[in-house]
Amino acid sequence: MNPDDPTTPSEPEHDTELGALLWADPAELEIEINTRTVPVLDAHFVASIRDRGVREPVTVRRRASDGRLVVRKGTRRTLAAVRVGLERIRVLLEPDAAPETTTDRDEEAERIIDQLGENQHRAGITDRDEVHAHQELLELGFSPAEIARRTHSKADRIRTTTSIARSPLAAGVMDRYDLDLTQLAVIAEFDDDAEAVKELTVAARRTPQLFDHIAQRLRMTRAREAAERDRLTELAEAGVTILDRSRHPDAIEVQQLRPRVDDEPGTILTDQQHTACPGHAISVTAYTGREGVQCYEIAWCTEPTRYGHTARFAPATASQPAPGRVQNGEDERDPGVDTGFGDDDEDAASWQAAAEEQARRVAAVERIERERIRIRNEAVQAAEAVRRSWLATFLSRKNPPKDAVRYCAASLAHGISGLDRSYANGHALARGLLGTDTLRRGSDAGGQASDALLAAIRTATPGRATVVLLAIVLAGHELSMRLRNWVEHDDEVAAYLRQLEEWGYDLAPIEQLMVEPQADIVVDGDMLESES
């Protein structure tokens, strides 16, 4: 440092303007009166002070009468340092002396305004910045567990932020749109599916009340498609021919065929009988049932006419199959042999062709109806998962909604069809919704199953006991619901869903259909018929 250099400030001027940086024992510091009457020392903040010390110096003033250092700014840091037993922390000693009393109006006004300004005019780190920071830590080789430990953040939050950071699509959506971390974490689940990301992003921005329903449907669709791929791979490896409709547009389901042309109309051709046919092929459709994803296989004949079959209900044309057909995979056609149908040969062929075309149309209609039912049943199950998750959050409260007792009384008086099932399995669903047991879709009958629920009631406050009662009633209504309530209207189910809606639950379209079966509601599967 050159004393002749005019740009170099003198030490006295520096001390006069900025004060001095000192070490001090936090236990010896005196806490000034503070606008924050109850300093919040959460566990993560205290752990950070314990591991990394007080990074930002505490601002203090020295009281002239006794020389004590009085904390002006940094009460939480000081108290946390005392709690974890730090022997010294950095303090910034302001040049002004601490007031001897609190009677000076101007001095007190300055203190209050300074403390308010320090806490009110402080912008916390944004979710976007936090995700990018965690992304940088991931790139430096930190695991999510290490990030949570080093930053003293909740593990659930770090799992959320790092899942977003690891997803290029979710991170891109975050930078472009103002979505919350929960929505972004769901989008990150579908990082390998651009169409799903697009659908979720649009839902988050335009119909956020349906976001969870759409996400659950996409999860179920992904699981179903994965099951289909796995089963198709197994069949192919076993040497089974997989139906390719683009190569075999004339394929007909085996159940729509009879074994031979001369068989009695209506004769059944079983899948087992057809396995020896060269045209045998299989298609696979997965569906989500109560026990999870299951696969449904359909047997087809890729070229039924060539291999001697005809439509199951096609009219009989002759007592024997026409020479010239392929029998057992061998082409027996002989141009010099009469077909055996005489003058009616063209009519017979026309009848068979028409019958086969009709069989294809019937099969197509049945496929569309099966698909429509599958889609809607899957929508019911997706809505159930979202609804029960919402119920678990709703029932985590200490006090019930104001009309809970009246609703429970009315429900019990009217009758709850699923309540017997709830009793039989020890109120498994109610326990799951209350958090006293794992929430699951199955039931676990057992004599001791409801002990946890009874214990919760015995130790509950009156308000919480009412919440437990409400959980039992709601679980009974849940168990009253059926997969086909979208087509078989049930007044109990409709009233139950209306009540949930009054309490703030957003009904999925399929649930709206259960409430108002005659309403003009667009539900999954509605477009299938028009596409046919």
pLDDT tens column, 132-171: 999 999 999 999 999 999 988 999 999 999 999 999 999 9
Q: How crowded is residue 428: how many other Cβ atoms within 10 Å of its Cβ?
A: 26
Assign 16 a pLDDT band (cuts: 50, 70, 90).
low
**Residue 246 to residue 234: CA distance in whole angstroms:** 21
Residue 333 dihedral angles phi and psi, to the nearest 5°? -65, 135
**Residue 408 to residue 440: CA distance in whole angstroms:** 23
**Residue 284 to residue 295: CA distance in whole angstroms:** 6
Q: Among 108-112, 189-193, 288-292, 466-470, whose mean pLDDT is lowest?
A: 108-112
- Which residue reads 């659930």 in tokens? 156
**For residue 5, pLDDT beyond 60:** no
pLDDT tens column, 386-440: 999 999 999 999 899 999 999 999 999 999 999 999 988 889 999 999 987 544 4
Non-local (6+) Cβ contacts of 164 within 8 A are 131, 170, 171, 174, 181, 184, 185, 187, 188
- Average pLDDT across the chain, whole number: 85
Looking at residue 120, its pLDDT comes to: 76
- List the structure tokens of 354: 């028409």
Higher pLDDT, 275 or 346: 275
With contact defined as beta carbons under 8 Å apart, do 261 and 322 qualify? yes
Assign 517 a pLDDT band (cuts: 50, 70, 90).
confident
pLDDT tens column, 345-383: 566 667 777 877 888 888 788 888 888 888 899 999 999
Looking at residue 140, its pLDDT comes to: 94
With contact defined as beta carbons under 8 Å apart, do 106 and 71 qualify? no
Q: Phi/psi class of residue 74: alpha, beta or left (left: φ > 0; alpha: ψ in -120 to 50)?
A: left
Beta strand pairing status for 310-311 and 257-258?
Answer: antiparallel
With contact defined as beta carbons under 8 Å apart, do 300 and 243 qualify? yes
DSSP H or E segment with residue 125: none
Q: Among 24-28, 103-107, 377-381, whose mean pLDDT is lowest?
A: 103-107
CATH of domain 11-120: 3.90.1530
Cα Rg of the chain (Å, integer): 37
Closest by alpha carbon to 302, among 321, 280, 333, 331?
A: 280
Looking at residue 274, its pLDDT comes to: 97
**For residue 284, pLDDT beyond 80:** yes
Looking at residue 465, its pLDDT comes to: 92
DSSP H or E segment with residue 87: none
Percent of the chain exceeding pLDDT 70 equals: 85
With contact defined as beta carbons under 8 Å apart, do 315 and 308 qualify? no
Q: Name the residue ranges covered by the structural domains of the chain.
A: 11-120, 127-206, 235-334+344-372, 374-531
Looking at residue 322, its pLDDT comes to: 41
With contact defined as beta carbons under 8 Å apart, do 515 and 498 qualify? yes
